[in-house]
Every structure is written in C-alpha cells, then in structure tokens.
Amino acid sequence: MTPRDLFFRLDADHRRQVHLSLCEDALPTWIGYIRNKATPLRYRDSLVGMRHHVDLELPADALRSARAGVDLADVGTRYLEPITALQDNDLTFPDPVEFAYYAIYNCFRKYVRGGDIPDWLIVNQALSVHDVSEVASRLTRTINDADPATSGNAEIPAEKEGTDHPADSSL
C-alpha cells in the first residue's frame, strides 16, 4: 500500500492531524525565507497600484488558528489581499515558499472556515516544500505518528517523473 493509499484510509480526525503536522513541517520554509530578506517584503497590486507589506506572521497565526479550530487573529481578513496578489502574480515567492504559504492557508480554510478543501491538496502542497526524494518517507512517518495502527503498512514507491508537483511524483 502506498503512503497516499494509507492517507486516504485514515478517518477525518487522523487526516486533520496529518494536515497540521505537515503544515507545521512546512512553516520553517516560510520562516527561513523571511529571515533571509534584508529588506521588508513588499509588492504593488496591479489593479490600483497600491504598495503593500507582506504580513510576516500570517502563516504562523493561520496555523495556530487551524490547530485551535477558530480564527485567533483575524487571519481570514489578513489573507484576502496577499492571496489575491499571489493569484494575480503581483506577489511571488520561490516555489517551496509558495507551496508552504498555500498549504497553511488551505489548512486554515478547511479547519477554521469549514472550506471544502480537498484533503490531498493540503498534503501535496505541504510535501512539495521538500525534496522529492523525501516526500514518501515524510508522509509515511507523519501518518504513522498520527495513527500508529498504520505503522509499517506503506510501500515506498520508486520516484516517478513528469508531474508539476513534487509530492505527487513520488506518492
């Protein structure tokens, strides 16, 4: 059984634990990126030309809120502008950073806002932060930590090529 198969055999509570754990693992990618910036992160929106500062604490606040199941810091409102800017290409991050940002955002939407977010989307985005050679073992380890009854049931597949998302290529 593949790690993906194991994930989909989990009940909703265990999937939530996996989502939160994978997003927790993705958060350091965001933190490392913002710490390495010599100047504040800013962008200009193309619609009206306004300049905006990137809210550096937003992903951490979103993850805390997702764990609690409630919006603890007006996260929903704070995400409106930067998500629009990312979708409009007014704001860009390196791929791993963008995957981390979206994984945490989607985890927040699912567990705080009750959004109809596909379970695999969060897994895929969070794992895409990491090197493709690590994703199957990371997912298996995370599943085993969330539900020890599944321990040892995954077959780690050989790497596959030709996919846009690193996580999907090895699961």
Long-range CB contacts for residues 102-106, cutoff 8 Å, separation at least 24: 103/22, 103/23, 103/26, 103/128, 103/129, 104/23, 104/26, 104/27, 104/30, 104/59, 104/62, 104/63, 104/66, 105/59, 105/62, 105/79
Mean pLDDT confidence for 5-25: 97
Q: What percent of the chain shows pLDDT beyond 70? A: 88
Per-residue confidence band for 157, with pLDDT thresholds at 50, 70 and 90: very low
| Mean pLDDT computed over every residue of the chain | 90
Kindly state the tokens that stand for 100.
């981390």
The string of pLDDT tens digits covering residues 108-133 is 999 999 999 999 999 999 999 999 99
Q: Give the number of C-alpha atoms closer than 13 A to the C-alpha of residue 143, restricted to the C-beta side.
A: 26
The string of pLDDT tens digits covering residues 61-117 is 999 999 999 999 999 999 999 999 999 999 999 999 999 999 999 999 999 999 999
Mean pLDDT confidence for 40-63: 91
The pLDDT of residue 132 is: 95
The pLDDT of residue 142 is: 97
Q: Is 32 strand, coil or helix?
A: helix
The pLDDT of residue 95 is: 97
Backbone phi, psi, residue 44, to 5°: -115, 130
What's the rounded Cα separation, in Å, for the pair 73 and 103? 18
The pLDDT of residue 160 is: 39
DSSP state of 149: G
Query: In sequence order, what are the residues at sequence separation of 6 or more whose Cβ sits closer than 8 angstroms to the Cβ of residue 113?
Result: 71, 76
The pLDDT of residue 99 is: 98
